Chains A and B, each alone.
Chain A
Amino acid sequence: MADVNITVDGKKVTAPAGTLLIEACKSVGIEVPSFCYYPNLSLQGACRMCLVKVEKMPKLQTACTTVISEGMIAITDSDEVRQARKGMVELLLGNHPLDCPVCDAGGECELQDMTFSYGAAESKYMEPKNHKEEQQWSPVVYFDRPRCILCYRCVRVCGEGMDVWALGVQNRGVGSIIAPNKEDHLECEECGMCIDICPVGALTSGAYRYKTRPWEMNHVGTTCAHCADGCKTTLGVRRSETGMEIVRGDNRDKSGINGDFLCIKGRYAFDFANREDRFVQPLIRKDGQLAPSTWEEAFELIGKRFKEAREQHGGQAIGVVGSNRTTNEENYLLQKFARVVLQTNNIDHHRTADFPAFAAALRGKPESTASMRDVFNAPAILLIGNDPTEQHPLMAWQIRNNVRLHRAKLYVVNSRDIKLRRQATGFLRIPKGAEGRFAAFLNGDDSVAENLRPVAGTGADAGESRATTQTTPAGFRDQLRSEQNLIIIFGAEIRGGDIASVVKFGSGIAGAKFLYLADYANSRGAADMGLYPDLLPGYHPIADSGKFHQEWGGVPQTPGLTLPEMVDSARSGKLKALYVVGTNPVGRFDIDPFVFSQSFVVVQDMFLTETASLADVVLPAANAYEKSGTFTNTCGDLQLVKKAAEVSGSKSDFEMIVRIADAMGADVHKLVPFGRGTAADMGQSRGAQSGEADRHSVWLEAHGLEPKMSPFDPMAILDEIQRLVPGYEVSRMNLLAGNDQRTSLVGRASGAAQNPELIAPANDHLFSSGTLGRYSRTLNSVMENHDQQPAEF
């Protein structure tokens, strides 16, 4: 768009035509105060804080609604303007309770800041203030009308941003009040966006209210531990009796891939970390009962038993199950430990998507996966399967707001009337289980078209879709073919060979990119790091292990057992030891617990899950908010995980793996390439876990000194990952600075066995999060409030 020149307070400003005056001012560092204005939400002109003088206009103008025009001269700082702002704040404070000393927002309140700036300290009124009692709207949302300044941000973010429309305004005049959708309470997605966006303390969070003063917290920017979208979150932590406690999750600086967004899980479901029934010391089974032990005792026992199993029965008698929620560094280390120390390829994890097949399909197209940011900017999106609103809240937000703000075209193919159809230009409802057939159809297999007929009876509901015409599958396909830069997003309904079909279709569209939806915070990382019996990191088939063979000094040459095969092996008494790190296969796959009665089972976890309860040794694990490393979200965005909290008595999985290797007498140095040539300092774990050691290392390295002194430093493994795993050659400095970095999925010759039947989608909904979610008090209380049915497939 053409540029427009204006003058603000004597400064020349050039901005694209259509820019709002308030934004033009911001671009040259002139801040115009505002309450109701919020970027990317509809304009209100309601708070009148942003009044400025515009030459040739008799009255002051609202900078938030004024579009700049050539030659415009604006003054944002004059006696008249300052008096207008002061007058506005005075009027607001008139009915404001001024209970700042006990208000959650105290110290982070825009009304406080505005009062501070414009000095409306004198009380002009003598009459009593209007009062209303505080209301609880849901387990997480409270509303205090007297504090509300009616900026309508909450109403808009809920409606326009979330497409939930649960908040509105009732009554008029001074009786105006924000109201929830169900008379006295809310039934909504409980994302807490309204609370986050509230400039004052009118909306407060059930999880956080009256817990602390904002300045008593430290803030740590990290990555959400729940779904595979990888929202950046800022955790507010405070010292507690047992270490550091997380008291708040939000997204203060909005710098991540998620911008403003967090869903209920990112915002509130960190509370599992503070549960009383968490393990805080190792447990060893004695006389059939799990009993507390010391760390030394536990590691010694595990080292001894693992070593025995390996020496007496060989690596194939040991199984390892990794996690979708441990860091890349831990996953890489775990499979390396399995292959190099335990000498087994029996390693697997809960697969929620078919990444090996995806990687194979993308052979020769390394840059064709879409990032989370791309989803917000693409001109067109095709979504096959999945229900992002429930399973990928950030993805849904990106899609929805791309449509709203950039008029992207969305095409939805689903067996259900998923909510995102309301944003769709084209919606094709296909029979349950027909996603694969649709993929074939995309590629010209018209024989299946009949089976893709929209399901009857979608009637009124489907009418809510923006889709203008009820297209035939063929018409739908034609429309797709006419798009450019299309992002094709698909769920785990598409697996194995069907993925190749989707990719083949997309390859015929200029600029097309692909995005595959897995379920957990590091599902993609678990796959990329090689938690497979037949694939090494970066989807290298075992047969193609040359590079790793050399580096690691040997990799077992036959593919190992998959998880179901390990179970079979245990049943027949062949699996002598099982090492389960941060996952609950027994609960998840409904495995008969007696299967493992002859195996020595070690479980690293926080809680007494179905799996932990049959273990011989339980090691209390730190969760993702308590350690550092990296996660790769389902799009392949690599992000930092930073240590925010700490519960004494737990250790990171990373440290525990290293200590077990050490207890087995392995050369720890070979496992973790730390401190080139220095002896292992097994004492220095704390600084390493918090990432401080690494930050220090940047300085050390810059001065030619030796960094990474500790074998517990995940960054030492990240070095190796970056060296050996194709697609992870990202800028370390950018990563450490807190930016998301693009990895690429480098396709391999698919020597790997394709096991689409091993994919088990988690089917989580907005308020569930696998085993971990069961331990969140907030999620449980919200679920009690809703009759939310789990997503069905």
Chain B
Amino acid sequence: MADLVSHPDEVRVVSRRFGMGATNLDRYLELDGYKAVQKALGMGTDGIVNEVKNSGLRGRGGAGFSTGMKWSFVPKQASKPKYVLCNGDESEPGTCKDRLIFEHDPHAVIEGVVIAGLAVGSHTGYIYVRGEYRYLLDIMQKAIADAYVRGFLGKNIFGSGYDFDVYWHGGAGAYEVGEESALMESLEGKRGIPRIRPPFPAVVGLWGGPTVINNAETLASVPHIILGGAEWYASLGPPKNGGTRLFCLSGHLKRPGVYELPMGYNLRKMIFEVGGGIPDGRALKAVVPGGSSTPVLKSDEIDIAMDFDSVAKSGSMLGSGGVVVLDETTCMVKFALRTMKFYQHESCGWCIPCREGTDWLKKTLIRFHAGGGVNKDIDNMYYLSENMLGRTFCPLGDAAAMPTMAFIKKFRKEFEDHLDGKPCPFEKAGVVESVLA
């Protein structure tokens, strides 16, 4: 279990019950648990959808799509059953927030799933938990069982006449399965490869039925919106970026950890005040603002508000809330290589540009970082990334190409410093030797 951190600037909504024993159902009920779903039962589908729309809640899985809007796409009448699918596959490097929610407040996820179900007229929810989070599955499993015992799930929930079932499902260890359509394939027991869209999941999803897919944090935020009201929630953040967000601060920081801050919180402040700044008096070099797939920001580009629109304006993305801080001792080539190793390993292999592109980028970066690079490699890597960008079957290919292009564009000098058989300037011994050894 991870230690919890805190900071006075935090606004605790989703993390309200962290560390308070809310995995225990009675304790959860004491802390306003399952009140939201009971309120929602009386709001009607449109009532819930409008409330969530007005709250300005945007998807916490990475793309930042309006949650209320997404729910409104689900057809009212459908010939097949509708589903709610909670995406707890959290695998983007730098991101570790859903994990805390499952660990400390699993019932909030269940409650969010049920409310989403009420909003779209579904009677079945699935909570998909990342395979490596095996220990969290136990917690989730117990929470679901407890809720069934009390009649919060199953037939006639809360005596309302509404039936709702929730099932859990564990992943098998694939980042790609966090992508919504691959998630559905995986849940259906198939290989974790994405589907062709359209049709979108809201219309044709799990087993062909209309399906709402939301990130665990998104869904865990919903009960608070129902109870606190859309207006209150929206007012916590800047316009169109309602509420708070769990930011996962990692890297070269004095106080790394997951902090809940209002949307739009300044990135510089986040690093230097909330995260305590960089240890040992070293200087900041760069920040990856929203998980490993988001383009890197240089130290002079961080005076920005951390909301979806402002970060996009600065040429990167708020993504999944994983803020990775890199100080001056970081070799950007090595960092690019580490990032690419991840995407090469996680590419599902379905489409040519991502399957082949990540592999060549990885191979080239290994050689390059080891000192075997030639000048044209730099342009080649950029060219290769360009040929992937926007042309792959799913966004994983973009997730590999975008940061690579940013590394090369913003830190070209560091790449050039690796040329001509020179050892990596950031490693004491010649890396060439260490790689060849």
Contacts and interface: CB of A to CB of B under 8 A. Distances in A.
Given A94-B356, A94-B360, A174-B355, A51 B391 contact: yes
A124 interface: yes
A48 interface: yes
Contact of A88 (B346, B353, B386): B353
B371 to A, nearest CB: 14
B390 A60 contact: yes
Contact size range, A: 35 or more
A171 interface: yes
Contact of A169 (B191, B367, B386): B191
A175 B174 CA distance: 14
A90 interface: yes
Contacts of B363: 125, 127
A176 B349 contact: yes
B196 A45 contact: yes
Contacts of A91: 352-353, 356-357, 360, 384, 387
A95 interface: yes
Interface in A145-181: 149-150, 169, 171-176
B345 interface: yes
Contacts, number: 102
Nearest to A93: B356
A665 B192 CA distance: 78
Contact of A47 (B348, B352, B383, B384): B352
B119 to A, nearest CB: 30
Interface in A207-243: none
A2 interface: no
Given A60-B390, A87-B387, A92 B367 contact: no
Interface string B365-395: 0010000001001001001101100111100
Interface in B317-353: 344-353
B367 A126 contact: yes
A87 B349 contact: no
A46 B345 contact: no
Interface in A423-473: none
A65 interface: yes
Nearest to B350: A46
B174 A124 contact: no
A174 B364 contact: no
B101 to A, nearest CB: 28
B221 to A, nearest CB: 29
Given A45-B393, A60-B390, A124 B352 contact: no
A176 B347 CA distance: 10
A81 to B, nearest CB: 11
Contacts of A125: 360, 363-364, 380
Contacts of B367: 126-127
B200 to A, nearest CB: 13
B10 interface: no
A46 B196 CA distance: 9
B359 interface: yes
Interface string B382-424: 0110110011110000000000000000000000000000000
A46 B194 CA distance: 10
Nearest to B387: A87
B289 to A, nearest CB: 22
Nearest to A127: B363
A167 to B, nearest CB: 13
B211 interface: no
Interface of A: 43-49, 51, 58-60, 65, 83-84, 87-88, 90-92, 94-95, 124-127, 130, 149-150, 169, 171-176
Given A124-B360, A176-B350, 15 more contacts: A46-B352, A48-B353, A48-B391, A48-B392, A51-B391, A59-B391, A84-B387, A91-B384, A91-B387, A127-B360, A169-B349, A172-B348, A174-B358, A175-B349, A176-B349
6 contacts: A60-B391, A65-B196, A84-B387, A88-B353, A124-B384, A173-B347
